Chain A
Amino acid sequence: MNIFANFLGRLNFDALPHDIITIGGAITMVLVGAVGFGLMTYFKKWRWLWTNWITSTDHKKIGIMYIIIAMVMLLRGLADALMMRAQQALSAGDAHGIIDSDHFQQVFSAHGTIMIFFVAMGLMFGLINLVLPQMLGSRDVAFPFMNNVSLWLFAAGMLLINVSLMIGEFSPAGWLAYPPLSELAFSPGVGVDYWIWSLQIAGVGSLLSGINFLVTIIKMRAPGMTLMKMPMFAWSVFGSMSLVVFAFPILTVTLSLLALDRTLGMHFFTTDAGGNAMMYVNLIWAWGHPEVYILVLPAFGIFSEIVATFSRKRLFGYTSMVYAIWAIVLLSFTVWVHHFFTMGAGADVNAFFGIMTMIIGVPTGVKMFNWIFTMYKGRVHFDSPMLWFMGFVVLFTIGGVAGVILSMPPADFQLHNSLFLVAHFHTMIVSGVLFGFLAGISYWFPKVFGFKLHEGLGKCAFWSWLTGFILAFVPLYILGLMGATRRLDHYDASLGWQPLFIVAGFGILFIFLGVGFQVLQLLWSIRKRAELRDTTGDPWNARTLEWSTTSPAPFYNFATIPTVTTRDAFWERKQHKDEPTSNVSLEPIHMPVASPYGPLIAAAAFAFGFAVVWHIAWLGIVAFLAVVGFIISRLCQDATEYTVTVDEIAAIERQSAGRRYA
C-alpha cells in the first residue's frame, strides 16, 4: 500500500486561487476572518464565546447561531447570484463577460447549494430552535446536546464549502451534481468532492435535528396540549421533520454512492461498467422534492402564526390546515419524477406524476384561503411581518400558476431547464420560504433579544426585496418563453435576450438594497434598543405560549411549566385575565450542561471531509477515529445535567418581574 507516499494527498500550491475574482473573494473572506479573530482576541472574548455560545446547549442560543451563519451565507449566495447575472448581462455575441465557463459553473453550483443547504435550512433550523420549545411550553428540545452537534455539523459543512473558494475549486456540476458530469471522467478535480462532503456533513446534522424536533413535539408538549391544541407552527414543523427523517437518509445514501464512485473507483452512476446515471437522478429527487416541502412547511407555519396574531383573530380552519399539512407531506413523496419528465419515461408514468403534482395544489390552495379568511372579520395590523405575508401570497400564487403549467408533461418538455423553470422555483422558494423566514425573524426578534426591530426600515427592506424580486424574475419568465435555458454563460446576440438579462441584474441590486436596509435596521435597532425595548414580553398582542415569558426568556424558559386547556393558550389566558400562579409551586429545574463535544465532533468531521476531498489518508483516518472517540467519551459522561435550585429561580423571576412591570 502506498497510501502514505504523499503526505498531503493531491493538495499542493496549485490549489490556491489563480484568477482575480476568486483571489478577491478569498482575500475578502480571509480578511473578514482575521478582523473577527483580532477583535475577539483584543476584547478577550474567546473564553466567553466558547463557554456561553459555542458549547451551549440552550436551544435559543443555538437558534441565534444558526441564523447568524445563514445570514452570512445569504450574502455569499447573493454575491454569487450577482456574478451570474453580471456575466449573463455582459456576455452576448462577441463579448464574453467577466468570468470563464468553468468558473461560471462553479458559481451557479455554489449559489444553489449554499442557498438551499446553508441559507434556507439554516434559517429554518434557527427559527425552529428559537421558538418551538417555548411554543410547546417546554424548557428545551428533547436532546439538547445533539442539538449542539447538529449546529456544528451544519457549520462544518458550511466551512468546507467556503474553504473550496480558497483551496482548490468548487463543483462545476450544478447544485444537484448529476452524473455523469459529476463523475471523475468529466469532473476530475476536487470540486464535486467538496460538494459531496460538505452536504454529507451538514446533512447528518439535519437528520439529527429532524429526529430531535420530532421527538420534542411528540414528547415534550406542556400538560394539556393535545396535538390538536398545538400552535400551527408546531404542526408544520411536525410535518417537515417527518419528511426530514424519511428523506435525508436517501440523500446520505445517494451522496455516499457518488463518493464511492469518485473515491474508490466504483461504478454506481458512471457511464461505463454498468453504471446508471438515471438511478442517481431518481434518488436525488426522491430526497429533493420532499426537501422543498421540508423548507416550505415551517414557513407556512410561521405565516399561520403571523396572520392570526396580526389579525387579532383565531386561525381560520385549523383542522383543515392540519389535514392540508399531512396531505402535502404524503404527496411530496409521490411527485419526484416531475423533475425529469424529459428523461423519456412513458406517457403513463409521466401523466401519473404530473397529476400527482397538480393534486398538491389542492391542500396548498386550502391553506391560502384559510389564511385569507383568518383576516376576514379580524383587525388586521400591517406591521412588517404582515407585509411579508401579503407579498408571499401574491408571488406564491403566481409561482403556483407557473407550477401548474410545468406539471403537465408536454408543457414541461418545452419549459424544462429553461429560465421559466428557474423563475418558477425561485418564486416558490423566495416568496414561500425566504419571505416566511424573514417574516419570522422580524416577528420573533423581540422575544429573542428583548427589543423590537425598527419598523420603518423593516418596511423599506420589504419593498426593496419585493421590487428586486419582481425585476429579477419576471424577465426570467419571459426569457424562458423565449427559449433561454438555465446556466448559460454566453448566448447569441441576435436572440434579443440581453436587455432582459440586464433588467434581471438590476433586480439583484434592488435585493441587495433590501439586504442593506436589513443590516441598517439591525444596527439602528441595536443603537436605539432602549426605545425599542419590549418590557411586556408580548409586543404584538400575540397568541401562543412563547409570548407568555419575558423578552428575552430566562434560560429555562418557564419557571413553572404552563398547563394548557385550549388552542392559542396565551391569548385565551389574556382574555380571561388568568395570571399564572405565582412562585408558590416552584420546583428545582434540571438543565443540560454545556458540552465541548459538539464543536469537537464537528471539527473532526470537517477534518475528515477535507482529508477525503484531498485524499490525505492519514488525516482521514485520524479524523474519523477522533469523531468516534469523541462520541464514545461523551457517552461515558455521567454529569450531563445540573440543577437550578428554587432559590435561584425565584431570584431570576423576581428580577425579571421587576423588569417586566417597571
Chain B
Amino acid sequence: MYKKYIRALAVLGVLAAIGLSIAGWLYVRNANVALLNPAGHIAERESHLMMFAAALSLVVVVPVFALLFGIAWRYRASNTKATYKPDWDHNNWYESAWWLIPTCLILVLSVVTWNSSHELDPYRKLAGTAKPLQVQVVALNWKWLFIYPEQNLATVSYLTLPQNRSVEFTITSDATMNSFWIPQLGGQIYAMTGMSTKLHLLPEQIGTFTGASANISGEGFAHMTFKTNVVSQPAFDDWVAHAKRLPPQVLPLSQKTYKELTEPTQGYAPTTYPRVDKDLFDSILMKYMKTAPPTAAPKPEEHTDEHQHTMPMSGMDHMDM
C-alpha cells in the first residue's frame, strides 16, 4: 500500500536532485572558485595537478560504479533468470586484474608525485625569473606582519606584490602555529615559532586576492585574513615610494612598536610602517631559540597551584637546542 507513495517520493527526490545540481552548477559558475581560478604560476600548476589526479582516478571510478550498479541490478534476487553460483569465490585472472591495474595507475601517479613535489617544492627558487622579492612574514595573535627588508618597510594585514616577479616569503610565528595561504597565488606553509619556513610564489595577474591563516590559532583566527594586491612593477615602486613618504608621526616598526603589535587583537586594520628595525625578524626568530636560564622557574601562571613555583627545575639546566 506504500508503493504508490514511495514511487512518488522517489520521483520527487530525483527531480529535486536534478534541480539542486543545476542550481549548484549555475552558482559555482558565477562564484570565484579560487583554487580553479589561479592568478599565479604556482597556483596554476597546482590546479593542473589536482585536475590530473582527478581525471586519472576516473579510470578506476567509472568501472567501479558501472560494475556496482550493473551487477547489483543483474543479480538482484528477483531476477531468477540470472545464473547463480553460490560457491564461485575465486578467479586468478580477475583478482590479478584488480591488484595490477590500480598498481599501474599508482606507478604513474607516483612518478608525477615525485616530480611535482620537487618542482613545486615551496623552498625551491623559481627558475627563469629575476631575483625574487624578499618578504618576511610573522604570524601574530591575530594578524599577519609583512616585512620588506630590501625596501625597509613593513605592513600589517595587507600585502602589495609586483606582477611577474617571484616572491620569496620567509615565514615564522610569534604566537601559536598558523598557516600562510593565498589560495589564488599558491599553496600554503606553516608559520611556527623559532623556525622559518619558505614559500616561493609568482603572481601573474593584477588584482586583489584574499589571503588567510589555514590553521586554527585561537579566538581571532577567522579574522586573520588579508588582502594581497598584485600590481604592476611601476605601481609597486610608487607604493614603496609613497610608504616611505608617510608623515613623520607614523612610527617606524621598532622593537617597541612591535611589542605593541604582539598584543592579541582581532581584525587589525591594514597598516604601513615606513621603516623597520633591521634585526627585527631575526630577533623574533631567535627569541625562542635561547636556552632556558638555569634558574628560570616555569612561566608563572596566576591560576596554577602554588606548589609549581617551588618545584626544583634542575632538569632544565642541560636542556638546550
Give residues in A with beta carbon < 8 Å to B: 1-3, 5-6, 9-10, 100-102, 105, 172-174, 178, 180-181, 184-186, 188, 264-267, 271-274, 276-278, 311-320, 340, 342-344, 346-348, 350-351, 354-355, 358-359, 361-362, 365-366, 368-370, 372-382, 390, 393-394, 397-398, 400-401, 404-405, 407-418, 456, 463, 467, 474, 478, 480-483, 485-492, 495-496, 499-500, 615, 617
B71 contacts chain A at the CB level, 8 A cutoff: yes
The smallest C-beta distance from B287 to any residue of chain A, in angstroms, reads 8
Residues of chain A within 8 A of B296, CB atoms compared: 273
Distance in Å from the Cβ of A247 to the closest Cβ of chain B?
Answer: 24
Contacts A410-B46, A483-B212 given; indicate if A362 touches B34 (C-beta within 8 A): no
Contact residue among A401, A474, A615 (Cβ-Cβ distance under 8 Å from B304): A615
- Which chain A positions have C-beta within 8 A of B144? none
Residue among A3, A369, A375 facing the most chain B CB atoms (10 A cut-off): A369
**B314 to chain A: which residues have CB within 8 Å?**
none
Query: Which of B125-133, B189-197, B230-238, B254-262 binds A?
Result: B189-197
Interface bracket on B: 35 or more
Cβ B177 vs Cβ A181 within 8 A: yes
Q: Which residues of A contact B283 (CB under 8 A)?
A: none
Binds A, one of B61-69, B149-157, B244-252, B268-276: B61-69
* B50 in contact (CB, < 8 A): yes
Q: Is B265 an interface residue (CB 8 A)?
A: no
What are 15 inter-chain pairs, A to B, with CB distance below 8 A? A6-B305, A174-B216, A267-B316, A272-B292, A315-B89, A319-B90, A358-B106, A365-B60, A366-B95, A370-B95, A401-B57, A481-B35, A482-B33, A483-B35, A496-B31
A residues near B161, Cβ cutoff 8 Å = none
Residue contact B299 to A185, C-beta cutoff 8 Å: yes
* B68 CB, nearest partner CB in chain A, Å: 5
Nearest CB of B to A29, in Å: 25
Closest to B49 in A: A411
- Residue pairs across A and B with CB atoms within 8 Å: the count is 339
Which parts of B58-109 form the interface with A (CB within 8 Å)?
58, 60-61, 64-65, 67-68, 71-72, 75-77, 82-90, 94-95, 98-99, 102-103, 106, 109
Given A342-B188, A413-B122, are A274 and B179 also a contact pair (CB < 8 Å)?
no
Inter-subunit contact B102/A361 (CB<8 Å): yes
Is the beta-carbon distance between B75 and A184 smaller than 8 angstroms? no
Q: Is the CB of B113 within 8 A of A495?
A: no
A366 near B98 with CB under 8 A, answer: yes
- Residues of B within 8 Å of A172, CB to CB, are 218-219
- B197 and A379: CB pair below 8 A? no
Residues of chain A lying within 8 A (CB to CB) of residue B83 = 377
Return chain B residues, CB-CB under 8 Å to A617. Answer: 305, 307
Shortest distance between the CB of B211 and any CB in chain A (Å): 9
A288 to B94, CA, bound (A): 34
With A1-B307, A274-B291 given, can you name 20 additional A-B contacts, CB distance below 8 Å? A184-B304, A267-B292, A267-B319, A273-B291, A274-B320, A314-B88, A317-B89, A351-B113, A354-B117, A362-B103, A375-B71, A397-B61, A404-B53, A412-B187, A414-B50, A416-B179, A416-B188, A490-B222, A615-B304, A617-B307
Chain A CB within 8 A of B148 CB: no
A355, A373, A376: the one within 8 Å of B114 (CB): A355
Knowing A496-B32, A617-B305 touch, does A366 contact B94 (C-beta < 8 A)?
A: no
Tell me whether B222 and A491 are in contact (CB under 8 A). Answer: yes
Q: Is B54 an interface residue (CB 8 A)?
A: yes
Q: Are A414 and B118 in contact (CB under 8 A)?
A: no
